Amino acid sequence: MDVEPEPYGNIIERMLRFVDKFALYMSVSISMMFINGALLGGKKLGNKDAPLFVTCFQCFVTAIACHVVSSINQCCPETKVPQLEPSKIKRVLPLTINFMLMIAANNFTLKFLGIAFYNIGRSLAIVFTSILTYFILGQKTSPLVILTLCVVVSGFFMGVNEENASGSLSVVGAVLGIMSSAIAALYSIVIKKVLPVVDNSVFILSYYNNVLATVMFIPAILLTGEGPAVYEMITNGTLHFWVLMTCSGLFGFAIGYVSTLQVKVTSPLTHNISGTSKNCVQTVMATTFFNESKSGLWWVSNLLVLTGSACYTLAKQRELRQGHALEQQQQKHQHQQGQQQRSHLSLHVSPTYSNFALVDDKIVGSSPINMDLSPSYPKFVLGSTPSTPTVN
């Protein structure tokens, strides 16, 4: 019977599912970036420039979106919005502060660097992830991964140098890019320790983070002097402006779901490579849309960052596989050693026995029979389970 068309059909089906999820991830992520770029336009916004309020409103919309999803999908406990518990709030709060700093730094980086240079400005996140993983978790990095990180760092500094040469570099934006990269790396490590507090539910943790961040951003908005700008937005904001504000929050909520969906359909490796591809398309679209002219070395710096990031993902995946294979070998070796010790123990029988005889090279007798072993071994009771020795 001919069965070859079935595997071919399965491959086509998997490819179509990947393309579908990849296109969804690309459209949501790039749309969110351009909407945020419009809302964080700096001087173009005039007296409506309030980046912290924009960030706070995004958190508010995300929290509302969690309630909407929970009410629609009531039969799924994974998306059920819980009541905020004081004990959990206390334990989640440090992560929420990290979360606030991360999204605020990301938005400020976008505000000062723009969409085209944002990819380079935020490229050091994987570098800080490796550094913090070593100092916090004690995990070493392979030489191959370090080599890919060096490629990313060289691309970052080349891009900063070319942006400075063209006169469009924002030093504040570059510093914020480095800070946001470090904060994002710290968040990716700390979140692993906090997830058990919320039963390892990313949805519940997202709800906690966004609700708490919405409340905590309010005093920050007042302290930074954004009050007048917020008042101007509320009183004179157009329908188009509020639609953009709402969409930015909805896309912020959607990107988490779409990323998880893509990882589920493909793999974390494929998702990371998709993110690298997205950054490439995003940079080209930004320079084309805003009619920005860049030098050849500027594009080389982007290529170094993208290539280094992609190679880092591949090298890290290889490193994880080797670590997993080594762990399996160690477990197998320990299991074999345990079997050898049990065999060795059973062979060291004392020549003095009672109540049994040797028949056809087998020890036989009534049960139970006390059997004395050599002085270097404990006494066993024949008839009990081998794993429960009775020691003299």
- Could you report the per-residue pLDDT of 131-180, keeping only the tens digit for each? 988 888 888 888 998 999 999 999 999 999 999 998 888 899 999 999 99
Written as six digits, the tokens of 187 are 């968040």
Calpha distance 307→276 (Å, rounded): 8
Token digits of residue 172: 């504040």
- For residues 304-332, give the mean pLDDT: 82
- Dist. CA 282–CA 272, nearest whole Å: 15
Residue 360: what are its φ and ψ, rounded to 5°? 55, 45
Average model confidence (pLDDT) across the chain: 79
φ/ψ bin of 361: left (φ > 0), alpha (ψ from -120 to 50), beta (otherwise):
left
Read off the tokens for 378.
């404990």
Identify the band that residue 258 occupies on the pLDDT scale cut at 50, 70 and 90.
confident
Q: What's the CA gap between 220 and 253, in Å, rounded? A: 22
Q: pLDDT tier at 3 (50, 70, 90 boundaries)?
A: very low
Q: How far is CA 179 from CA 101, 114, 187, 325, in A?
A: 9, 16, 12, 36
| Interatomic CA distance for residues 274 and 271, integer angstroms | 5
Q: What's the DSSP call for residue 134?
A: I
How far apart CA 47 and CA 24 sit, in angstroms, is: 35
pTM of whole model > 0.85? no
- The two beta strands, 362-365 and 356-359, are antiparallel
Distance of CA 17 to the CA centre of its chain: 22
The single-letter code of the amino acid at 15 is: M
- Looking at residue 332, its pLDDT comes to 79
For 344-370, write each residue's pLDDT tens digit. Answer: 655 554 444 444 444 444 434 444 433
Can you tell me the distance from the alpha carbon of 169 to that of 43, in angstroms, rounded to the nearest whole number? 16
Q: Residues of the chain with pLDDT > 90: what percent?
A: 28
Report the amino acid identity of residue 357: A
- In terms of average pLDDT, the best of 19-23, 123-127, 199-203, 215-219 is 215-219
Report the SS3 class of residue 104: helix
Average pLDDT over residues 67-79: 78
DSSP string, 250-277: HHHHHHHHHHHHHHHHS-HHHHHHHHHH
User: Could you give the residue ranges of the DSSP H alpha helices within the chain?
Assistant: 5-39, 51-72, 86-121, 125-132, 143-165, 171-194, 202-223, 227-236, 239-265, 268-289, 296-347
Enumerate residues 6+ apart whose C-beta is below 8 A from 351: none
Bridge partners for 362 per DSSP: 359
**Adjacent-strand bridge partners of 358:** 363
The strand pairing partners of 363, in sequence order, are 358
Q: Looking at per-residue confidence, does 368 or 213 come out higher? A: 213
Confidence (pLDDT) at 90: 93
Which pLDDT band holds residue 379 (cuts at 50, 70, 90)?
A: very low
